[in-house]
Amino acid sequence: MISILKSLWYVFLHMFRKRVTVQYPEEKNYLPPRWRGRIVLTRDPDGEERCVACYLCAVACPVDCIALDAAEADDGRRYPDFFRINFSRCIYCGYCEEACPTYAIQLIPDFEMAEYDRQNMVYEKEHLLINGEGKYHGYNFYKYAGLEIKGKAKGEGIDEEKPIDPKSLMP
Amino acid sequence: MSETLQHIVIVFGILFGLLTLAAGLIWIERRLLALWQNRYGPNRVGPFGIFIVLADMIKIFFKEDWIPPFADKKVFVIAPTIIMLTVLLSWAIVPVAPGVVVLDLHIGILFFLAISSIGIYSTVLAGWASNNKYSLLGGMRMSAQMFSYEVFMGLSLMGVVIMAGSFNLSDIVNAQENMWFVLPQFLGFVIFFIAGLAESHRLPFDMPEAESELIAGFHSEYSGMKFGMFFVGEYVGVTLISAMIVTLFFGGWHGPVLPPFVWFFLKMMFFICLFILLRAALPRPRYDQLLSYGWKILLPLALLNILVTGAIVLAIE
Ligand code: SF4
Ligand code: SF4
């Protein structure tokens, strides 16, 4: 009986506590910098698309919400012909970002993606692609990779050794 | 002629006031519960969010009113109307201010006890007609609950009746001119309060609807306005019990300075808020606990209360 009255009193005292509610649209909650939200496709420091359409993100995605098709430009660079993410299926796990070898696909701290029409949750490449480098600066995949593109022959990449001629006997 | 007119005004005034209050209680309850849980509650629609009531009403009116094909249709439809009817009927005998009462019955308390007991049928029939195991369990719990509190509910009021010497609620209020009955009848008040909680099946005695184990129990099959009627019935029931407590134990409309109606309203609101605080604070007991509690503790206490009150009143006379 006493305990009942006591709990009534303690609950009553909660009236004078600080509210825990965050009045959302006016007051924003703190989002950690590594918050996994909306996905963007970034560009390398030279302003070219970073994505090389390797399909690794699409394979890593546990809910199969990434669709893309590879294409190759005249200079030898690969790029996605289309790149589509269905955000109504995405679970924001970040596996795609981990799988990506070129830092192209990145999750940013933005979660305000509500739509009235479900179809609008499907983002195409033009919605995903941003004009910057995102979270990882200064990385350009083709500068490191041993792939030959126009303007860069084999062995000219950073930290890359000259190709060995297997038919020669010289060291 | 003018007396008839006055009566009609009183009837519709009380009806209108009551339904408005019942709707407003949705908002009051949500705000108060939020207050006691360190939240804000609905505060967006209109000033302090009070128009959430309108939004809720519009929503509930436009909801599909679905009757499950396996239900017993007639009983299913009748059940929610019973609770509305009975709580509104019981309100007829509550004197809001001197002379402002719909039905000045000389057996007011008996009428209240009888009609409010009929209200239980609503719950039991709803549980039965839904043809659903959980609903049936809810209805059964309600009948078990009724067995436990109905006995001492009536008995707890007899002390008041002995002291006032009348079953008429206006007479009882007038008898409290000098002293509220809560002082000599404190035990009776506590017992009636517990019984009233169980009667309006509010938390902590909401075993029939127990969301956590019976998924809303007797009204889990109800939707749209039928569900709304259960809710309005529950809220009017809460105001009814609060009003009865005020009239029987807290001197009804008596009070200094302010007009009688305002006093009545303030006291009633106090008890409504207390009901909500109880909901915020207490867990739900098992229904067999309520049964044994009712029969083994509260019933003997109520009987003792009558005995002692009767003896003292006799000795004074
Ligand atoms: S965050 Fe996870 S679910 Fe979303 S696209 Fe990337 S891998 Fe798929
Ligand atoms: S975003 Fe990254 S992982 Fe996905 S296809 Fe492009 S380069 Fe490959």
For the stretch B35-80, pLDDT in tens is: 888 888 888 887 888 888 888 888 888 888 888 888 888 888 888 8
In a domain, A103, yes or no: yes
- pLDDT value, residue A58: 93
In a domain, B42, yes or no: no
C-alpha neighbours within 13 Å on the C-beta side of residue B22: 25
On the question of pLDDT at B1 being above 60, the answer is no
In a domain, A70, yes or no: yes
A8 and chain B in contact, CB less than 8 A: yes
Question: What is the arithmetic mean of pLDDT over B181-193?
Answer: 83
* Alpha carbon B294 to its chain's center: 18
Tell me which DSSP letter residue A34 carries: T
The percentage of chain B sitting over the pLDDT mark of 70, rounded to a whole number, equals: 100
We report the CATH number of the domain holding residue A107 as 3.30.70.3270
Are B277 and A11 contacting, i.e. CB atoms less than 8 angstroms apart?
yes
C-alpha neighbours within 13 Å on the C-beta side of residue B203: 17
| A129 phi/psi in degrees, rounded to 5 | -75, 130
* Alpha carbon B266 to its chain's center: 17
- pLDDT value, residue A82: 92
Which residues in chain B have Cβ-Cβ distances shorter than 8 Å to A17? Answer: 38
Measured distance CA(A87)–CA(A59) in Å, rounded: 16
- CA of B59 from ligand 1 middle (Å) equals 36
The closest alpha carbon to B172, from B240, B109, B113, belongs to B109
Tokens coding B104: 């000045």
In our burial notation (b when 16+ CB lie closer than 10 A, e otherwise), range A30-62 reads eeeeeebebbbbbbbeeeebbbbbbebbbebbe
Tell me the pLDDT tens digit for each residue of B81-122: 888 888 888 888 888 777 777 777 788 888 888 888 888 888
Ligand number nearest CA of A79 is 2
In a domain, A64, yes or no: yes
Tell me the pLDDT tens digit for each residue of B125-158: 888 888 888 888 888 888 888 877 888 888 888 8
Identify the burial level of A81 via C-beta atoms within 10 angstroms of its C-beta, where 0-12 means exposed, 13-18 middle and 19 or more buried.
exposed
In a domain, A22, yes or no: no
In a domain, B54, yes or no: no
- Say how many domains are in chain B: 1
- Beta carbon of A91 within 6 Å of any ligand 1 atom: yes
* Chain B nearest CA to A19, separation (Å): 5
- Say how many domains are in chain A: 1
In a domain, B40, yes or no: no
Residue B108 lies in domain:
66-316
In a domain, A159, yes or no: no
Tokens coding A124: 């195409």
The closest alpha carbon to A125, from A64, A74, A79, belongs to A79
> Which of A6, A9, A19, A26 is the best residue to mutate to test the B interface, defined by the most B CB atoms within 10 Å of its own CB?
A19
Average pLDDT, chain B: 83
Which residues in chain B have Cβ-Cβ distances shorter than 8 Å to A16? Answer: none
In a domain, B179, yes or no: yes
Which residues in chain B have Cβ-Cβ distances shorter than 8 Å to A8? Answer: 277-278, 281-282
| Series of mean pLDDT values for 10-residue runs along chain A (171 residues) | 85 84 84 89 89 92 93 89 93 93 90 90 92 88 82 80 82 70
- pLDDT value, residue A122: 93
- CA of A70 from ligand 2 middle (Å) equals 10
Tokens coding A80: 């996605």
- CA of A66 from ligand 2 middle (Å) equals 10
Name the closest residue on chain B to residue A4, using Cα atoms. B282
Lowest mean pLDDT among B8-12, B197-201, B254-258: B254-258
Question: What is the arithmetic mean of pLDDT over B280-285?
Answer: 83
Give the strand pairing for A122-123 and A78-86: antiparallel
The closest alpha carbon to B160, from B143, B179, B184, belongs to B184
Identify the burial level of A15 via C-beta atoms within 10 angstroms of its C-beta, where 0-12 means exposed, 13-18 middle and 19 or more buried.
exposed
On the question of pLDDT at B286 being above 90, the answer is no
Say if the Cβ atoms of A7 and B281 lie within 8 Å.
yes
- pLDDT value, residue A153: 81
Residue A90 lies in domain:
30-135
Helix, strand or coil for residue A67?
strand
Helix, strand or coil for residue A120?
helix
In a domain, A100, yes or no: yes
In a domain, A161, yes or no: no
Are A7 and B283 contacting, i.e. CB atoms less than 8 angstroms apart?
no
Measured distance CA(A50)–CA(A44) in Å, rounded: 5
Say if the Cβ atoms of B40 and A23 lie within 8 Å.
yes
